[in-house]
Amino acid sequence: MPVEPPVETPRDLAEAFRLMALSPRTPIAGGTDLMVRITGEIGSPPDQVLDLSRLEELRGIALEDGRLTLGALTTYAEIRRSGLVARSLPVLAEAAATVGAVQIQNRGTLGGNIANASPAGDTLPLLLALEAVIEVGGARGERSIPADQFWIAYRTTALAPDELVLRVRIPLVEARQVRFRKVGTRRAQAISKVVLALAWEQADRKDRWSHVRLALGSVADRPIRARSTELYLEGSRATLETADGAAETVAAEIRPIDDVRSTADYRRQVTARILHRIIRDAGGW
Amino acid sequence: MTAIRFLVNGAPVELEAPGMRRLLDVLREDLGLTGTKEGCGEGECGACSVILDGDVVDSCLIPACQVDGRIIRTVEGLAALTPDGRILDDLQAAFLATGGAQCGICTPGMLLAARVYLDAGGGPDEDAIREAIAGNLCRCTGYTKIVEAIALAAETGRRPAGA
Ligand SMILES: Cc1cc2nc3c(=O)[nH]c(=O)nc-3n(C[C@H](O)[C@H](O)[C@H](O)COP(=O)(O)OP(=O)(O)OC[C@H]3O[C@@H](n4cnc5c(N)ncnc54)[C@H](O)[C@@H]3O)c2cc1C
Ligand code: FES
Ligand code: FES
């Protein structure tokens, strides 16, 4: 039988912060990562759990000051259904649609994906490429952490033990193009072999690319930005030479590993190919 | 222990259970509703699927504390209870008609995932059906008969009443 650790269900954020300050508790949101741990087969079960599911403050999707704000408890199903997301940031709905299958999308949350900090977490490269800001908080107050400072080591985040992920803010940029690609064994229910998110700014298709952001999942011990490749692409046009050069640069830049899901070699080649293809499609050749 | 109250297949239940007990165990062990099956216990197979507030979910991934005050439908709630006995849901009848069940372990989950799909207006399109049951694994049928059953139920459900 699975372990059944004690759990408390705070009714508002202030109570949640107070409990977290009292002694460390493991939060549960949708439970799609945490409940797998209580069987004790994968990782160790938590000692004490804090159920976030009744915290209305952590729900909802809104547009505020040119930024899309998503509460930590926002599920993949809510992202897919949201008219606001469809209008302002459709790539996020595209990414949400690749997570698990419908049962997982109905329960799994954005905050859970962020806090779980898996190197294969599918939304994380997208949050990096979009320069999202993760807002966290606890009894000592709230603070904002840029996505590229959030996943600091293997399965380790910048969260303090008494802090919760509260919401994510994603700046909406007029001339920004964004692409998201996930490669897994099958379309549903597959942990990624490679996830790639690419963003750049360009007023017109013929323009040079600026503000290029390339982020990758499953190719390192955490989701990463590929900064050499970003630099390579900055100021370029989507030509064959650019695509070839960027593919070569990214293949040299990343250090993926062999594991049960894939090999380092496959991951390096696939990453390069996906990037090449995105640039080709953007160039329209 | 926590007092937990919810509706299962229209009937109110109230029980004392550890808040982190899996809904799957509450249904099977505490309430004796063994129609809900356990396959993997980790969200991969969908055998434990139930309908929670209208959404299909894996009951092995849901702690009891999160269903307090909610509405749950299990496979036991699919057939309608009438004075003349139980009348199978369109989907159950369709699974029988096409041979959509073999060993039956995946069937309750398949039926509930398909029920939500049809209730949301899903039709007989094969790709859409396959996406709707992508979280439900079957080791026996090869899926073809299951997809056929759901498509058949989609057609039956669309016929005007009495037709
Ligand atoms: C079958 C299956 C398929 C899956 N497929 C995918 C996939 O395709 N892509 C993918 O990226 N993931 C996948 N996952 C993993 C999981 O569904 C996601 O990571 C999901 O977003 C986790 O969210 P949750 O709310 O369920 O997290 P939970 O399980 O509730 O929590 C996850 C972790 O984050 C912590 N946590 C949760 N919320 C907060 C918060 N607000 N503040 C602080 N800490 C918090 C918890 O303590 C826990 O350590 C899959 C899981 C399963 C079981
Ligand atoms: S038993 Fe719940 S998904 Fe397999
Ligand atoms: S009928 Fe046996 S698993 Fe589907």
ipTM: 0.95
Is A113 near ligand 1, meaning CB less than 6 Å away? yes
Range of A21's domain?
7-48
**What's the domain count of chain B?**
2
B161 in any annotated domain = no
Q: Which of B22, B52, B132 sits opposite A102 (nearest CB)?
A: B132
Residue B119: give its domain's CATH number.
Answer: 1.10.150.120
Q: How far apart are CA B128 and CA B124, in angstroms?
A: 8
Domain end among B76, B100, B131:
B76
Is B147 near ligand 3, meaning CB less than 6 Å away? no
pLDDT of residue B159: 59
Query: Among residues A131, A276, A144, which one has the least CA distance to residue A213?
Result: A131
pLDDT at B161 > cutoff 70? no
Both B53 and B13 in a single domain? Answer: yes
pLDDT of residue B163: 39
A2 in any annotated domain = no
B113 in any annotated domain = yes
Please name the residue whose Cα sits nearest to atom 19 of ligand 1. A113
Both B116 and B67 in a single domain? Answer: no
Both B98 and B119 in a single domain? Answer: yes
Domain end among B46, B76, B106:
B76
Residue A198: give its domain's CATH number.
Answer: 3.30.390.50
Please name the residue whose Cα sits nearest to atom 2 of ligand 3. B103
Place of tokens 């390096």: A268
Domain end among A119, A145, A171:
A171
| Residue A268 token pair | 């390096």
Both B61 and B99 in a single domain? Answer: no
3-state SS record for B61-120: HCEHHHHCCCEEECHHHCCEEECCEEECCHHHHHHHHHCCCCCCCCHHHHHHHHHHHHHC
Chain A residues inside the 8 Å CB shell of B115: none
B54 in any annotated domain = yes
Q: How far apart are CA A39 and CA A185, in angstroms?
A: 25
Domain end among B38, B61, B76:
B76
**What's the domain count of chain A?**
3
Residues A103-140 as b/e (b if ≥16 CB within 10 A, e otherwise) read bbbbbbbbbbbbbbbbbbbbbbbbbbbbbbbbbbbbee
- Per-residue pLDDT of B7-56, as tens digits, reads 999 999 999 999 999 999 999 999 999 999 999 999 999 999 999 999 99
Q: Decide if B20 and A1 are in contact by the 8 Å CB cutoff.
A: no
Is residue B48 within 8 Å of residue B25, measured between CB atoms? no
Query: Among residues A255, A18, A238, which one has the least CA distance to residue A119?
Result: A255
> Mind listing the pLDDT tens digit of every residue in chain A (285 residues)?
788 999 999 999 999 999 999 998 999 999 999 999 887 777 788 999 999 999 999 999 999 999 999 999 999 999 999 999 999 999 999 999 999 999 999 999 999 999 999 999 999 999 999 999 999 999 999 999 999 999 999 999 999 999 999 999 999 999 999 999 999 877 777 788 899 999 999 988 888 999 999 999 999 999 999 999 999 999 999 999 999 999 999 999 999 988 888 899 999 999 999 999 999 999 999
Residue A166: give its domain's CATH number.
Answer: 3.30.465.10
Q: How far apart are CA A259 and CA A261, in angstroms?
A: 5
pLDDT of residue B156: 86
Domain end among A122, A155, A171:
A171
In sign, the C-alpha dihedral spanning A86, A88, A94, A96 is negative
Range of B107's domain?
80-156
CA B39 to chain centre: 14
pLDDT of residue A261: 82
